[in-house]
Amino acid sequence: MTTYDCVIVGGGLAGLTTGLELAEAGKKVALLEAESFVGGRTASWDENGMHVESGFHRHIGYYTHLPRILKKSGIALEDIVTWEERAEVRSPRNQEAVKLGVAPLFGPLKMLKTITGNDPYLSGKDMISTARFFLNGIKDYYLHSNELDQWTVREYAKKHHLCEAAFHYIIIPLSTGVFFLPPERYSAYNFFGLFAAGLPRLYKMRIGAYLGGMTEVMCQPIAKRIHALGGEVYTNLKGESLLVSGNGRNVYGVQTEDGKVWHANHTTLAVSLHAAKKLLKPSFSSHESFQSMFALPTMDAVTFQIDMNTPLMEKDITTFGPGTCLASFAEQSRTTFQQAKGRLSIILTPPERFTALSENETLEIVLQDLKAIRLPLAKENIVKYRKIAHLHDFYHLGPGHHVMRPSQKTPIRGLTLAGDYTMQPFFATMEGAVYSGKAAAEFVLREGQS
């Protein structure tokens, strides 16, 4: 019987990071992924003959933990990312796109044009109002976090008299466009926290588009590095139940759906919040330490991806669509999906509107809203399209939920948690997933020394 130092359930960025950190420390690890590919919420695969991704992904310039993991895996960030210095906002309200500079150091002129060049849509008054809104939000994030988490973004904007134009063209894109929740349902604490986390490295801020599918350019190379260090990575293996002893005081492995038992000194659950609850509840449903986590709600995510016979937009650029179902999107035929002549990847909002709709019904709504923002797409130019729905895939970023997030360390010997839903400063992001994986690995190593 093989006993591993650690069995990791889940092959997304959190699980891959945990595996890499432990393998580097000389530990015998086995990583078990339910899908036929690694990556989790940062994965790419073939969906009935179409190359798709789990979402619409961008690399943020102030990330530090993710680049370090990539470097450890032999991946040079500049080889897999191309940088954008601005984003665009396309609204049914106006004929032209509003341009937002997003790179203070690398694109200062574009930042200046954000302030001076978007009349009549964004005036100087609107920009001053936005600056005041953010200054108050960052202050309250640090000084009054519990109170801030009781406000929605919409309520906080009203409280600080944010101009309506600034709310529409800046705040909706930066809230709904990132986490697909409307401002009426999005915690102001979570919103400002995304920006507060990057303040020490704000000069590094810019947006990067990946030059290939997430599994191919990022997650699979991490898995290969784990294997090269002596670790084992398995796909098509779903964790079915935890092995628990000592009246619930100790976890000593996991049983997979195929009936195989994996014994380990330590087990890390690096799956989604929903999946982690399913694994924990049979043995720990009444355990006091998990009650807050069990009560933490989840939310869905839905993306829509279209292959075309010609590009829809002149540039591959991050674009937001306030006032439509198009939370954020980009033409990606020159970046992530270069095998396609034209490629549109869209995050839809609100997600629950689309989970039960067919692909054809979703397409009709998408085409209608593309037309509304002056990007008409003729059906004869569409080659393939897919709706990718992720039910319960994120922890809910609404008011009052932040304090319900669990630590990576649990009171159960031999058990840690990893995932961006766990308590860490980068919220539901790739950086947050990596951070949680590193923290979980540190707890595993610490427990192994005790």
Is 79 inside any structural domain? no
Is 82 inside any structural domain? no
How high is the pLDDT of residue 110?
Answer: 52
How high is the pLDDT of residue 277?
Answer: 98
The residue ranges of DSSP E strands in 117-192, in sequence order, are none
Closest CA to 364 of 417, 304, 440, 407: 304
User: Do residues 197 and 110 share a domain?
Assistant: yes
Q: The tokens of 450 are what?
A: 């005790």
Report the CATH number at residue 421. Answer: 3.50.50.60
Q: What is the pLDDT of residues 49-107, one digit of tens each?
A: 999 999 899 999 999 999 999 999 999 999 999 999 889 999 999 888 888 887 654 44
How high is the pLDDT of residue 124?
Answer: 84
Is 137 inside any structural domain? yes
User: Do residues 304 and 381 share a domain?
Assistant: yes
User: Do residues 125 and 50 share a domain?
Assistant: no
User: Do residues 194 and 105 share a domain?
Assistant: yes
How high is the pLDDT of residue 111?
Answer: 45
* pTM listed for this prediction: 0.95
Contact 237, 257 (CB under 8 A): yes
Range of the domain at 325: 298-395
Q: Indicate the residue among 364, 379, 395 that finishes a domain.
A: 395
Q: Indicate the residue among 149, 179, 202 that finishes a domain.
A: 202
How high is the pLDDT of residue 116?
Answer: 52
Does residue 257 sit in helix, strand or coil? coil
How high is the pLDDT of residue 107?
Answer: 47
Residue 288 to residues 246, 253, 284, 409, 410: CA-CA distances in angstroms? 17, 22, 8, 15, 11
Is 380 inside any structural domain? yes
Q: Which residues of the chain fall below pLDDT 50? A: 105-109, 111-112
Is 188 inside any structural domain? yes
How high is the pLDDT of residue 108?
Answer: 47
User: Do residues 249 and 342 share a domain?
Assistant: no
User: Do residues 262 and 330 share a domain?
Assistant: no
User: Do residues 305 and 291 share a domain?
Assistant: no
Q: Indicate the residue among 170, 202, 234 that finishes a domain.
A: 202
Number of domains in the chain: 3
The torsion defined by the Cα of 200, 202, 204 and 209, in degrees rounded to 10, comes to 120
Is 378 inside any structural domain? yes
**What is the amino acid identity at position 337?**
F
